[in-house]
């Protein structure tokens, strides 16, 4: 089997789907790996490092994609800016694709992959079971986003994060409020605490209270008897009464906070609107919101994806693709996730395409010309 790794073409994307460390592991398993020249440059992995790992370097993207049995990518396939052809159209019919496809956001790409009879696996659809933890790109990338979000907030805030005892008097710690205690939220809590902030966090799932408190933060939540997560482990829609109470809680905590980090997604892809314009206007001038759900539309009503805006003295940051801002580690972790997926089904010198396996079945988005619904 030949695995192909291409340079990511989406603007601002610095990650690469496979790093030399993982390339070597695949080669040792007798998988042939070919990498587009320069694919790892933005993440500081040279062509020579891939050669040393046993991978081949190719310059012809069309030939590389057309000859591959399995293509590894970070972003969904797109229109190549210099060749004028869609990456999906350059893949051979019947080949496989593994990457973060987010089918709900890119239905046009999914349809194109189906038309090419590509068997496409999306890592964001891998079931959240213990056997699949090493393949979980969402968690790997969310960890990085949560860390980076706090650094953005600290940089934008006109105050210190930690408490400081100075000759001029005591500086009290910044108050940070984190909305959503999934992987990104928990990492945001941990990072804010490391910087010395006083942290509160909320989540629709009362079960995360212990995790929040173990990181030194205070959990604030709405008491409910409703189940707040689906069978896949993602947050789900709740009743209007719950959201009314939640809005009251969020409004009061935002008004008291110096920095707010929002990370909430429903089903892993949809951003609930949690902070209204009115709530923003009730916040103190100089305070900061970092909206990690910006790519999905934002948790804050005033978020503009990819931009930073100021509303009555409140800075609202809508960063996109934060993992790409730490491309070396983001690529390394992402690469390990993909490699775990490939090797889990690599048996007797071939990829075991067994759809009785719940991981393969769950991750499969298109197969034999059809789109498979979640």
Please give the Cα distance from 310 to 287 (Å, whole number): 10
3-state secondary structure 158-182: CCCCCCEEECCEEECCCEEEEECCC
Our CA dihedral for 122, 183, 232, 338, rounded to 10 degrees, sits at 30
What is the three-class DSSP state of 202? strand
Annotated catalytic residue within 28, 46, 133, 214: 133
Neighbours of 81 (CB within 10 A): 9
Neighbours of 354 (CB within 10 A): 11
Please give the Cα distance from 326 to 267 (Å, whole number): 26
Cα dihedral sign for 70, 74, 76, 81? negative
Q: Residue 61: which of 33, 82, 30 has the closest Cα?
A: 82
End-to-end, the C-alpha distance of the chain in Å comes to 28
Annotated catalytic residue within 49, 139, 229, 232: 139
Q: Is 133 a catalytic residue?
A: yes
Q: Residue 73: which of 86, 84, 134, 274 has the closest Cα?
A: 86
Q: Is 119 a catalytic residue?
A: no
Please give the Cα distance from 181 to 152 (Å, whole number): 18
Annotated catalytic residue within 128, 273, 284, 361: 128
In terms of DSSP H, where are the helices of 180-324?
183-194, 209-214, 240-256, 277-281
Q: Is 33 left (phi over 0), alpha (psi -120 to 50) or beta?
A: beta
Q: Which two tokens stand for residue 50?
A: 């891939």
Q: Residue 320: which of 303, 334, 309, 306 has the closest Cα?
A: 306
Q: Is 50 a catalytic residue?
A: no
Annotated catalytic residue within 22, 50, 75, 136: 136
Percentages helix, strand, coil for the chain (3-state, rounded to 5) are: 40, 20, 40
Annotated catalytic residue within 234, 258, 324, 335: 234
Q: Is 128 a catalytic residue?
A: yes
Q: Residue 93: which of 123, 113, 71, 63 has the closest Cα?
A: 113
> Would you please indicate which residues are annotated as catalytic (active-site) residues?
128, 133, 136, 139, 234
């Amino acid at each position: 089997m030949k695995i192909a790794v291409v340079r990511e073409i989406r603007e601002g994307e610095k990650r690469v789907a496979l790093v030399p460390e993982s390339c070597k592991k695949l080669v040792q398993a007798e998988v042939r790996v070919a990498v587009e020249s320069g694919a790892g440059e933005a993440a500081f992995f040279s062509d020579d490092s891939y050669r040393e790992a046993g991978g081949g370097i190719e310059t012809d993207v069309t030939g590389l994609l057309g000859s591959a049995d399995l293509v590894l990518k970070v972003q969904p396939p797109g229109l190549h800016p210099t060749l004028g052809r869609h990456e999906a159209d350059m893949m051979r019919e019947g080949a496989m694709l593994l990457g973060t496809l987010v089918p709900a956001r890119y239905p046009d790409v999914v349809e194109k992959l189906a038309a090419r009879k590509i068997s496409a696996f999306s890592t964001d659809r891998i079931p959240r079971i213990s056997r699949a933890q090493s393949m979980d790109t969402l968690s790997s990338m969310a960890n990085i986003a949560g860390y980076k979000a706090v650094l953005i907030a600290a940089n934008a805030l006109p105050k210190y994060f930690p408490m400081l005892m100075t000759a001029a008097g005591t500086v009290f710690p910044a108050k940070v409020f984190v909305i959503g205690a999934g992987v990104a939220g928990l990492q945001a809590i941990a990072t804010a605490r490391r910087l010395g902030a006083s942290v509160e966090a909320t989540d629709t799932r009362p079960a995360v209270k212990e995790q929040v408190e173990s990181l030194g933060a205070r959990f604030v939540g709405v008491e409910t008897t409703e189940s707040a997560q689906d069978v896949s482990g993602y947050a789900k829609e709740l009743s209007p009464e719950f959201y009314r109470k939640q809005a009251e809680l969020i409004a009061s905590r935002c008004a008291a906070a110096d920095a707010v980090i929002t990370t909430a997604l429903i089903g892993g892809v949809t951003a609930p609107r949690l902070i209204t314009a009115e709530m923003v206007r009730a916040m103190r001038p100089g305070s900061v919101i970092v909206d990690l759900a910006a790519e999905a539309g934002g948790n804050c009503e005033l978020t503009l994806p990819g931009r930073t805006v100021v509303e009555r003295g409140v800075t609202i940051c809508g960063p996109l693709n934060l993992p790409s801002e730490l491309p070396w580690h983001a690529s390394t972790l992402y690469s390990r996730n993909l490699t775990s997926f490939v090797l889990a089904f690599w048996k007797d010198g071939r990829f075991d395409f067994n759809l009785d396996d719940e991981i393969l079945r769950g991750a499969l988005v298109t197969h034999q010309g059809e789109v498979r619904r979640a």
